[in-house]
Each structure stands twice: as C-alpha cells, then as structure tokens.
Amino acid sequence: MSLLEIKDLGIVFGGLHAVEGFNLTLEKGELYGLIGPNGAGKTTVFNLLTGVYKPTSGEFYLDGVKMNGKKPVEISKAGIARTFQNIRLFGKLSVLDNVKIGLHNQMKYGTLTGLLRLPKYFSTERRMNEKAIELLSVFELDGDADTLASNLPYGKQRKLEIARAMATAPKLLLLDEPAAGMNPNETNELMQTIRLIRDKFDLTILLIEHDMSLVSGICENITVLNFGTELAKGPTAEVLRDPEVIKAYLGN
Amino acid sequence: MAKKINSPLEKKSAGLRPVTKKNLVTLGIVTVFYVLFQTLSSLGVLKNAYQSLLVPICYSVIMAVSLNLVVGVLGELSIGHAGFMCVGAYCGAFFSVVTKNSFEIGWLRFLIAMIIGAVAAAIAGFLIGIPVLRLKGDYLAIVTLAFGEIIKSVVNVLYIGRDDAGFHIAMDSAKVGLQEGGVMILNGPQGITGTPRNSNFTVGFILVMLTLIIVTNLMDSRTGRAVMSLRDNRIAAESIGVNVTKYKLTAFVISAAIAGVAGVLYAHNLNALTANTNNFGYNMSIMILVYVVLGGLGSIRGSVIAAALLYSLPEIFRGVGQYRMLLYAIVLIVMMIVNNGAFFVQYKEKLKHRIRGGRKEAA
Amino acid sequence: MKVKQILALVLALVMCFALASCGEKKPTDTPSDTPDVTEDAPQGDVSFEKEGVIKLGGIGPITGDLAQYGVAVQLGAELAVAEINAAGGINGYEVAFKMEDDTGAADIAVNAYNALKDWGMQTLVGTVTSTPCVAVSAEAVNDNMLLLTPSGSSIDAISAGDTCFRVCFSDDNQGIVAADYIADKGLATKVGVIFNSSDSYSTGIKDNLVAEAAKKGLEIVATEAFTNDNATDFSAQLNNVKDAGAELVFLSMYYTPASLLLKQAKDMGYAPIFFGPDGMDGILGMENFDTSLAEGLRYLTPFLENATDDATVKFVESFKAKYPDRASYLNQFAADAYDAIYALKAAYELADVTPETSVSDAGNLLKDALTKVSVDGVTGTAMVWSADGEPQKQPRVAIINNGVVEAA
Amino acid sequence: MKFLSQLISGISLGSIYALIALGYTMVYGIAKMLNFAHGDVIMVGAFVVYTACVKGGMNPVLGVLLAIVFCTVLGVCIERLAYKPLRQAASLAVLITAIGVSYLLQNLALLIFKSDTKQFSSVVMIKPVTVAGLTVSGEIIATIIVSVVIMVALTLFVNKTKPGKAMRAVSEDKGAAQLMGINVNGIISLTFAIGSALAAIAGALMCSTYPALSPYTGAMPGIKAFVAAVFGGIGSIPGAMVGGVLLGVIENLSKGYISSQLSDAIVFAVLILVLLIKPTGIMGKKMTEKV
C-alpha cells in the first residue's frame, strides 16, 4: 500500500480553481518534489493535506486511511507534519520549548499533573528534554536550546521548524521551501540533513522548492504545478528538461 | 569531533533552570514583602491607611496574575475579567452568610467558600469560554466585556431570601414572598450584607503564593507550553497537533477560577458586597488590564509589582487631595510612554549596550 | 528587567513627591475642590480657650460620578465647622474637619476610613452614600467610633452597631411617608414608579413605597427600572408608565437622572404628577436648569432653601456668602451635613468630650449623648435620636411652584 | 402606537451612539487603536459649547464651531503627545495610554468645572414635529440628519479624496504606505483631527438631546458607542451607523417590552449572538489569515 494517495484533489476559492484534479501517490521512503511558478498552488496543496483548507473535490489517504475533511490536529496525529513558507515558530519561547511542543502528542501528562508537579511530570519532562535535545542535535541546534526562537538567525529558524515537525513523529513530512533565503553552502548542508533524517527516521518527504539545485539534488521524482493543475510529472531530470515546464518557468 | 561536555541538558540537570530560578525570585519577593509588612503591622508601626491596603493589594495581585494568564500567556484580550471575580465573590459570600450561624469553624467555612467561589467562577468561565474563544482580537474583547456586564446586571436584579420553607429566588424584591422571620440574603442592588470578615493579610498572602505557584507551574508544563504556542502561532500549533479549543478553554477556566478566589477574598474583606461598575464592572476589568499591561504581558513578576503599586497609588496620593486622580492619570500615561515609547526603548537599549560593553572591557 | 526597574524608579519618585506634598499640608487642610476659604478660616485670628483639636472625619465621593453629592456634604460640613470655630469651637477646642474621597465605592471608603484614623479622627461624619456606609460602619463599630452619616439612608447603613447614627431619613421611612402622603391627600390612585435598579437608595425607597402602597389601597400600575449604565434615555420607561395609565409617577432616584427624565417627559407631552424622595432636592440648584421642567414636582425633603425659620435663613445666607460660586451645592446633602456637625457639637458638649478622649471612650460617651440632645437644625426642629441611630423627624413634602420650592 | 414611539426614541438614542461610533470607527480603522478617550473628548466638546453659549452667551452655531476647533486641536495634541511615542509599541500599550488620557480629561474637567451636573441648553433650533400624535423633538431630527450627513461625507471623503485614499492606504499597510510617499504621521494626525471634530459635534448634539453635563458624561456613551462600532463591524463607516442605531433600538425595545432592569444584559446578549453568527460584526470585513 502506498503511504500517501491523492485522488483528484481540488479547491475552489470564490470561483477560482486554486488547485484542480491533483493526483499523487507517494511510496514509503520517497523524497518527492513539488515545483512550479509562484501562485501555481503548491502551498495550497500543503494546506489541503494538513487540513488548513477543506478540499472542495477529491480525496486523499494516508496509509489507506481517508484524511480529507479532518481537522489539522487529527491530521497531525495521523502522521503528517509540515513546515511553513513564511516561518511560523513560537517566537517568544525557547528553541527547546519549540521542539517540546512538537512532542505534545508523543509524551503526555495531564494539566493537573503539571500543576501539582506529580512524579510523572518530572519523568516525562526529562524524557521530553532528552528527545528534544536529540532532535536539535540532528540540526546542530542543541547549543541554542535556551535561545528564544525569534532571536535565531534565519537559517537556523528554518532548521528549527523542521526539528519541531520531526518531533511529532510524522510518517510524512511536508517541507515548504526549506532552502529559501539560504546561501549555496547552507543549501548543500540542508540537503545532507534532509537525506539524513529521511534515512534515520524512516520518513517520506514531500517538498516544495524553488532552488533547482536542491530539487535535482535530492528528489527522485517531481510534479510541476501551473495554474493549479499538473503540468508534468516524473523523474526529476526528465521533467526539468520538458519544454512545457521550461516555458512555464521562463514565460514565452 | 568529541561531543561538547557542556550540553544544555547536562547544564540543566546540574543546577536550577533559569525559569525555576526566576519564579523562585518572584515568590521570594512576595514573601519578603509579606514578612516585612506583617512585622510592621504586628509592631503597630504600620499606618492604618497602609494596613487596610494589604488585603486589597492581595486580591489585585491575584486578579492581575490570573488575567495575565489570559492576556499575556494565552494572548487573548479580555476586558470582562471582573465578572468572574463577581461570580466568585457572590457565591462565596452567599455561602458564608447562609452558614454563618450554623458553621462553627470559621477557617473551614472560609475554605469551603473559597472552593465554592473558584468552582462557580470556573463554571462561568467554561460557559463563557465556549462561545467567546471562537472569536478573535477586539471582537473577543468586546464579548468578554459583554459577559462581564451581563453578570453584573443579573446579580443586581437577583433577590434571594431564606425562611423556614427554604430559599426563595426572584427577580423582584416584591415577589420573593418571604414568611415572617425570613431573611433576605442577596438583596438586589443592595447586595449581600454581613459577610464574615475572614480575609486578612496572611490569607491573602497564602492565596497570592498559591496563585503564583499555580500559574508558573502551569506555564512550565505541557499544558502551559501548548497555551503559549497558541499565542505565538495558532496555525503552527494546530499543525503540530495542539488542540486549540481545549487549551484556550483550559487557560480561560483556570484564570476564571483564580479570579473567583480573588472575589471571595474581596467579599470577606468588606461588610457590604454590591456589584457596580467600579468593583465588578468594566472599570475594574480595565483597571486589572492596566496592571497586566504595565507589568508586562506574560511577565508574572511584572503583574505582581504593577498591581501592588498601582492599587496603592491613589491611596498614597491622598496627600495631594483634589489632584489625586489627576496625578494618577498622568503617572499612568508617563509610565506607559517610558516603558514602551520608541524613544525610551532605544535609549534603554543604548544604555544596556553601554553597560554590557563596560563590563566586557572590565573583564 | 530593565523595564521593570525603570517602572519601579518612576513609581518611587512619584511616591516621594506624594509623601513630600503630604508633609507640607497642614492637618486642617481639606483635600477636595473647595475654594480656598479654609485658608482664611479663623484658626489664625481666633484663639481657643484650650489647646488641642477635635478631629472630625468625613468620607464621601469627591471624584467619580457621585461627586456632586459628596462635595455638597463637604461644603455643608465645612461651613458648620468654620462657624463653630469662629464662635470659639467645641468645649473650647478648635474643630478640624477632613474629608476623604471614596469615589462612592465600599472598598475605597474603608481605605479612606483608615487614612482618617491615621490623621487622628475621633468621630466620623459619613459616609455620604449608603453602600460604603455599610462597609465603613462595620469598621467604626469595631473601633467603637461614633459614626454619624449625613445622608446614608439605607437600613443597613447604620445597623452594624449602636455607635452608628444618621441625620437623613431612612429609605423605608421615605417610602412609607411618600405612599401615605399620596394616599391621604388623594393625589392619585394609579401610581407608576421609575427607579435606579443598580442603586440601593433608589431600590430601597421603591420597595417600601410599593409595600406601603398595597396597604393604603394605591394601585402600582408599573414599576420601571434603569441602571447607572443606562441613565440617559428614559423614554421607554415613560412610555410604559404612561401606557399603564399612571396618574402619578414616583421617581425613586437622585435629581441628576430626574432632570433628564423630566425633560423627556415634557418632550413626549406627558404630564402626570411627579413625586420624588429627598434625593430630588437640589434639582433647582442645577446650573442652567430650566425650572419649567420641574414645575409641579413634589418631593420629600427635610430642607427647604426658602423656609423662613431662623436656622435655615442663617444657613442659606452664610452658605452663599462662603461659597459665592457654589450655589448649586446648596441642597439637602449640604444641609444634612451642616446639621450633622451641629448635632455632634451638642453631643460633644453634653458629654464633655475633649481631643484627649480616646476614640472608643468618645464613642461610648457620644452615643449616649446623641440620644439625649435635641437639635434645632435646618433639616428639622427639635431633632432627637433613638438608640438605634434613627433621627426622629418628619419628612416635609415640598412642591415646585413657579420655579420656587415651597412647602406643600 | 406605543411601539412606534418606543422605536423612535430608540432611533434617537441610537443615532447618538452612531454619531460617537463614527469617530471611534474612523480612528480604529486608520490607527488600529481603540481610543478609549473618545467619549471624554465628547464631554470636553460639550463643556466648550456650554461655556461659550450658556456662560458666554455666544450664538449656538458659533459655539459648536468653537468646540469643533477646540476638540480638533485637543485631539491632535493627545495623539502627538500620548499616542505617537507608542506607534511602534504593542497595541495594548496604546489602549492603556488611552485609558490614562480618559482619566486625565475627566479629572481635569472635574477640577475646572466641578462635580455638579449642569443642564445643557439645546443648540438645536428645529421645532418639534408632530405626526399622527407622535412628537419627534428637534434634537432627534437634527441628530439623525447630522449622523447621516457625516456618514455619507466620511464615506465620500475616504473613497474619493486624495487624503481619504491615503488614509485607506495607511489603514491597509503602514509600511507600504510610507514607501509610497504617504506621510503616515500626518495622515494619522488628520484622522484624529477628524475623529475629534466629530466628537465635538456629537457632544453638542448628545447634550442637546440629553441635557445633563458633568465630567463623566462622556464615559458611558463612549463605551456604548464602542460596543456599537464593534456591533456594526469596527472600521466600517456604514457599520458604525447601523450598529449605533440598532443598539439604541434594541436597548429601547427591550426596556419597553421585556425588562427595563435587564435591558443592558439583553443588549449585550444580542451583541454576543450577532458576533457568534458573524464574528466580525454586521458590516465588518472578513479577516483571513494567509498561511
């Protein structure tokens, strides 16, 4: 069974078909790219997959379970995590706390346990800290654990978002322009990290990216979106040579 | 490369974490304040005027800290917080007045009154929270204001009396229909009279400490982090599986319950309990908001200090007579501008840099 | 942290300023918006027989939306104190009166009470409004201090203990007297009532009026309420009482909302008999008041500005002389306070209380003395007090004719 | 018959709320702040008219003009001294400062004009109109006309004129407006000037209809108008009008037909219901957050 199966997914905003007839099947462990010019509907696809928007047509399945129509929280619990194009960290909280909130549904104790500082509070908090530091060290952020998230430099913020998403123990990770604003060196490093987490945590990754070097560097297959519909699909190198795709990117 | 020895985790397990340390300092400040004034008061050197401020300061601090939980920690503007105080005050006072003669142990009765006040306010918070928390920003604020005013209006038309046949409730004093020898307990706008004077500075101090411990423990727990994540970025919080309604409601209800306790403290500090704009209406709600904002959103210590100082200011200003409230207004404006104004913020940053720079050079 | 340090610093500075200005003030100085008359009060010119000052405290709203009533009380009390000092004081001692602001709130009133205790108050003239009085009377009874409220009229205002007295009528007294008067004079059989449901004074009078009306065979055809937050438009209430066919509308409220209500009634072309409690007194004194609005208004009052008895004439004259631009405060609140001070003078003289007498002893002496004195004041002649603190005097009914208050 | 007369007095009360709410909503729309001192500027306006006309014997029209000038200057001064230093600060900080300004104005007025209530003399010279036994006072007619005129004028101003368009730009995005060469500070001052001028007119008309004037006269109508502005959708000019009138009508009808004691509670309950059904008020724009 495929990990993710999207069938004819679409959404209409006031008459505008932002995404229409989107189909995609992802196998476990795949690293898949979603590209397209600005406004092509890439982020909208992410919003549909994470329940921010309700699709007006079509459906999608995670591990065979129908997901469309579910709320973001349920989708997160089912195993889809994401990052955001315009970084959305918990700015007034520390880096460590950001990741610990990611662990919200992984390690639990009740409000009363927390208020009364019952033994379970201390044991769970200790496990949370260990797990969070472990995740942070993957992204070399463990040294910044006590820094406020909003005080981190841009590149680290992007990494922290991925670390936070990883904390929810997802099956499918959606990365929205993870390399935006990074220099080539940083991008290269990020590529390594993405591969690393895919292998280490047994992940399936769907990513949106404008940086073609990153896309062609790590994605096995890609889909090109244009005006909300699929323009091309297939192995990365082939698709990028497609004249239609080039036209869409460069204009006439 | 070898792993760094000083990993943050190890550093944490070694000493107190900064959060814990900060909270302990706050508790310490409150304790010192308590010991100081309690000593002065038992020595008889504390002026009556200051003595009578001690309990009001306690409930103002409790109100400010509990509102900070909603405004600073949850990040939703509420201007109806006095409504919860009102619910707690009336329920607690009602219980105390009813059981005044039948309940022998004063402190136990007071404790039960506290619990009743807290539970009643929590229920009110829950009922109000469900619809209110669906809204955002100023709209949420106006609905909290509306609820506060509704609570106040309803309390003012409620008449409850007791006679041999039991309790009688009516919306009109003429319709209570008490038998001979019956007593009005809640008498519409005349409120509840004769609440036992159980509140004192020690009780107030214990409640302030409890409030601080509850709120700081909450903030440094899974629930508190979830609440703060909603404040910082609701969409991201949802995307990692934080249940928005549940945690908003949790924060709101806890805050309401604490406000209810403050209400009980208030009610048992005065012989006369009535609900008007200045004690349980929007004026009070706004006053508490002033404490919170001036103390710093999300800063618990700030709320404590601001509430204590601002409550005392008009009393301290009694010396200037008719200019009392005018001076208060000016101080309020000046403090807001000094604390938040662009010019002063820049100046403070510069000062900070200079001090740090100096330190580095010295080192 | 920096922010808070600066905050603390500013506050500390402010406190220093406040405390400093505190120190500069003479103890006899009054803190409110009175003209500087206390400055040329006779302390300097008149020498008193004995050393020492009898300190009387006052509590009432000096700021806030009830301030006009508090200030009237303050002016009346200060006038009496100035007169007494000019005539050699009480028992040969100078009298000082200090008014503290309670903004009309019970908790602030208790703070004010304690501030006055620090000042050395021996007897309390206050509080002005009922709810704070309930709270403060509990404190006063605790200290066994004599409390004489000029205008706190609710039953509970002086029920806390035997050291609490009042000058004005009680709420039930007024409600009953009003109903009796309406029934006995045959003014009307169908009565409508409009009252302030967020105010204990208004509600108390209304409750007693309604109860007494039933006994007297008056029909209460409508009871309409308003609240402090909603005291601008009364047309809905007026429409309702009009529809119910009320021949007489009892306005259980103070004069400020009444002035608006009367205007709206006139605009509607509705002209029943209007009747009010003593809170109505002062309506003609309102600055720029269109007296035609109140034509025919009847109300209970202990005080008639143009009564011809000597006490009133003297009071009105000296009030106008002392406060030339404050005529709008010359009403029953000021008169009650004026009488309160003279009643205390009588009690102090009878019990021979001196500044050295402790608060509690003074309380014991004065509470006995007050039940023995008889005071000819501006709010009643031969006023006497019963041990429960109620004054024995009959309300008078006044009517406004051609813009002038007359006894009805 | 009774219903009609209740309705008319509701509309009259509502049009006062609307007039105040217009000022509120105007300032909120541009400066994004709840100017809690707005009600007190109204009180100041009324006192200026009172002093000029009743004490000074000035012609009512001149008196109102004087009040407009005075309040405009006052509004701009308040903005410059108290709010401008906080332009970069959190909106709550400005809100609290506005509360401080509100206390300041009340207590200044208390010192200058004393605490006793003054009866205001109407500045409206329109005679009452009687139709089918119902009398409508000149003040009510004037208030309704003035509110509608101001609403239309403001709408036209904001949509058609250059400064109006600049205001809308500032309201959308201060930073972008600045980059487009708009003098953001000037526009915000202009907004306060207009809002305060409206407050002066509202003060004169309110006190003509409900002629009791004290330093606290503006506080409660200010809060009510704030509620009205939110009711109608804060930031929307027609919304303020609709919200104000509806608030007045609901208030009066619930006083007339349900319970005069609980009318406040009823008004607020209706408000809550409306906001739950339409979370941004009757005519408010839907807020969407881009993800």
Q: Is B1 part of a structural domain of the chain?
A: no
Residues of chain A with pLDDT under 50: none
Residue A122 C-beta-side C-alpha neighbours within 13 Å: 6
- Chain C residues inside the 8 Å CB shell of D6: 235-236, 239
Of B172, B189, B339, the CB nearest to C198: B189
Instruction: Identify the CA nearest to B261 among candidates B20, B21, B65.
Output: B65
- pLDDT surpassing 90 at residue D74: yes
Q: What range does the domain containing A127 cover?
A: 90-151
Output the DSSP codes for C361-378: HHHHHHHHHHTT--B--S
The distance of D290 to chain A (nearest Cα, Å) reads 10
The last residue of one of the domains, among A106, A126, A151, is A151
Looking only at the bridges linking them, the beta strands covering A16-26 and C123-126 are: unpaired
C179/C279 same-domain check: yes
- Chain D residues inside the 8 Å CB shell of B294: 96
- Chain B residues inside the 8 Å CB shell of C62: 322
Q: Is A161 part of a structural domain of the chain?
A: no
Residue B28, classified by CB atoms within 10 Å of its CB into exposed (0-12), middle (13-18) or buried (19+), is exposed
Q: Is D213 part of a structural domain of the chain?
A: yes
What's the pLDDT score for residue C42? 45
Q: Is D96 part of a structural domain of the chain?
A: yes
Q: What is the CATH number of the domain that holds C381?
A: 3.40.50.2300
- pLDDT surpassing 70 at residue B150: yes
- Chain A residues inside the 8 Å CB shell of B232: 89-93
What mean pLDDT, rounded, does chain B reach? 87
Would you say B74 and B136 are in contact if contact means Cβ atoms under 8 Å apart? no
**Sheet-wide strand order for A80-82:** A80-82, A172-176, A204-208, A31-35, A221-226, A229-235
Q: What range does the domain containing C37 cover?
A: 31-169+316-392
A246/A174 same-domain check: yes
Q: Is A16 part of a structural domain of the chain?
A: yes
Cβ contact (<8 Å) for B218 and A115? yes
Mean per-residue pLDDT, D121-147: 85
A14/A59 same-domain check: yes
Cβ contact (<8 Å) for B222 and A124? yes
- Confidence tier at D197 by pLDDT (50, 70, 90): very high
Q: What range does the domain containing B84 cover?
A: 19-321
By C-alpha distance, the chain D residue nearest C196 is D261
**B127 at the D interface (CB within 8 A)?**
no
Q: What is the CATH number of the domain that holds B223?
A: 1.10.3470
The distance of B116 to chain D (nearest Cα, Å) reads 25
Q: Is B193 part of a structural domain of the chain?
A: yes
The distance of B124 to chain A (nearest Cα, Å) reads 20
Looking only at the bridges linking them, the beta strands covering D118-119 and C404-407 are: unpaired
Q: Is C47 part of a structural domain of the chain?
A: yes
Cβ contact (<8 Å) for B305 and C114? no
**B313 at the C interface (CB within 8 A)?**
yes
What's the number of domains chain B is made of?
Answer: 1
Asked if chain A contacts chain C via 3 or more Cβ pairs within 8 Å, the reply is no
What's the number of domains chain A is made of?
Answer: 2
Cβ contact (<8 Å) for B190 and C227? no
A241/A130 same-domain check: no
Cβ contact (<8 Å) for A100 and B225? yes
CA–CA dist D206, D38 (Å, integer): 14
Q: Is C287 part of a structural domain of the chain?
A: yes
A18/A84 same-domain check: yes
C143/C90 same-domain check: yes
By C-alpha distance, the chain B residue nearest D219 is B283
Q: Is D111 part of a structural domain of the chain?
A: yes
Q: Is C21 part of a structural domain of the chain?
A: no
- Chain B residues inside the 8 Å CB shell of C67: none
* Per-residue pLDDT tens digits of chain C, which is 408 residues long: 444 444 554 555 454 444 444 433 333 334 444 443 343 444 445 678 888 999 999 999 998 888 989 999 999 999 999 999 999 999 999 999 999 999 889 999 999 999 999 999 999 998 999 889 999 999 999 999 999 999 998 888 998 899 999 999 888 888 999 999 999 998 999 999 999 988 888 988 998 999 999 999 999 999 999 988 888 889 899 999 999 999 999 999 999 999 999 999 988 889 999 999 988 988 998 888 999 999 999 999 888 888 888 999 999 999 999 999 888 899 999 999 999 999 999 999 999 999 999 999 999 999 999 999 999 999 988 899 999 999 988 778 999 999 888 887
Tokens 């005075």 sit on residue: D70
C35/C165 same-domain check: yes
pTM: 0.90
Q: Is D73 part of a structural domain of the chain?
A: yes
C177/C276 same-domain check: yes
The distance of A134 to chain D (nearest Cα, Å) reads 29
- Chain D residues inside the 8 Å CB shell of A52: 291
**B320 at the D interface (CB within 8 A)?**
no
pLDDT in tens, B71-122: 999 999 998 999 999 999 999 999 999 998 888 888 999 999 999 999 999 9
Tokens 């349980």 sit on residue: B280
Q: Is C397 part of a structural domain of the chain?
A: no
**B271 at the A interface (CB within 8 A)?**
no
- Confidence tier at D34 by pLDDT (50, 70, 90): confident
Q: Is A201 part of a structural domain of the chain?
A: yes
- Chain A, 138-167: which have a CB under 8 Å from a chain B CB? 142-143, 145-146, 164-165, 167
Cβ contact (<8 Å) for A111 and B237? no
Q: What range does the domain containing D180 cover?
A: 18-219
The distance of B57 to chain A (nearest Cα, Å) reads 25
Q: Is D44 part of a structural domain of the chain?
A: yes
- Confidence tier at D288 by pLDDT (50, 70, 90): low
Of B135, B146, B293, the CB nearest to D92: B293
Output the DSSP codes for D98-162: HHHHHHHHHHHHHHHH-SS-EEPPP---PPPEEETTEEE-HHHHHHHHHHHHHHHHHHHHHHHSH
Cβ contact (<8 Å) for C32 and B325? no
Q: Is A23 part of a structural domain of the chain?
A: yes
C364/C258 same-domain check: no
**B268 at the C interface (CB within 8 A)?**
no
- Chain B residues inside the 8 Å CB shell of C130: 190
What's the number of domains chain D is made of?
Answer: 1
A80/A186 same-domain check: yes
Cβ contact (<8 Å) for C240 and D256? yes
Mean per-residue pLDDT, B52-76: 95
A175/A122 same-domain check: no
Taking CB atoms and an 8 Å cut-off, how many pairs form between chains C and D? Answer: 121
**B237 at the D interface (CB within 8 A)?**
no
Q: What is the CATH number of the domain that holds A84?
A: 3.40.50.300
Greater confidence, C295 or D88? C295
By C-alpha distance, the chain D residue nearest A46 is D291
A35/A79 same-domain check: yes
- Confidence tier at D282 by pLDDT (50, 70, 90): confident
Tell me which DSSP letter residue B346 carries: H
The chains found to touch B (3+ Cβ pairs under 8 angstroms) are A, C, D
- Chain B residues inside the 8 Å CB shell of C19: 316, 319
What is the percent of chain D with per-residue pLDDT over 90, rounded to a whole number? Answer: 47
Would you say B184 and C159 are in contact if contact means Cβ atoms under 8 Å apart? no
**B178 at the C interface (CB within 8 A)?**
no
Contacts by residues C136-140 (CB-CB < 8 Å, ≥ 24 positions apart): C136/C59, C136/C106, C136/C109, C136/C110, C137/B271, C137/C161, C137/C164, C138/B197, C138/B270, C138/B271, C138/B272, C139/B271, C139/C110, C139/C113, C139/C114, C140/C113, C140/C164
Q: Is D11 part of a structural domain of the chain?
A: no
Output the DSSP codes for B20-57: HHHHHHHHHHHHHHHHHHHHHHHHT-S-HHHHTTHHHH
Of A113, A116, A165, the CB nearest to B240: A165
Q: Is C361 part of a structural domain of the chain?
A: yes
**B217 at the A interface (CB within 8 A)?**
yes
**D291 at the A interface (CB within 8 A)?**
yes
Q: Is D173 part of a structural domain of the chain?
A: yes
Q: Is C1 part of a structural domain of the chain?
A: no
For B251-261, give one letter per residue: b (16+ CB within 10 A) or e: bbbbbbbbbbb
**B62 at the D interface (CB within 8 A)?**
no
**B6 at the C interface (CB within 8 A)?**
no
- pLDDT surpassing 60 at residue B48: yes
Tokens 């541009």 sit on residue: D30
pLDDT in tens, B155-202: 988 999 988 888 888 887 777 777 777 888 998 888 998 899 899 999
Of C67, C236, C257, the CB nearest to D9: C236
What's the pLDDT score for residue B8? 45
CA–CA dist C395, D5 (Å, integer): 37
What's the pLDDT score for residue B358? 57
Q: Is A71 part of a structural domain of the chain?
A: yes
Tell me which DSSP letter residue D54 carries: I
Cβ contact (<8 Å) for D110 and C237? no
CA–CA dist B18, B22 (Å, integer): 6
A173/A234 same-domain check: yes
Q: Is C26 part of a structural domain of the chain?
A: no
What's at B2, amino acid-wise? A
Please tell me whether the interface predicted TM-score (ipTM) of this complex is above 0.85. Answer: yes
What's the pLDDT score for residue C261? 94
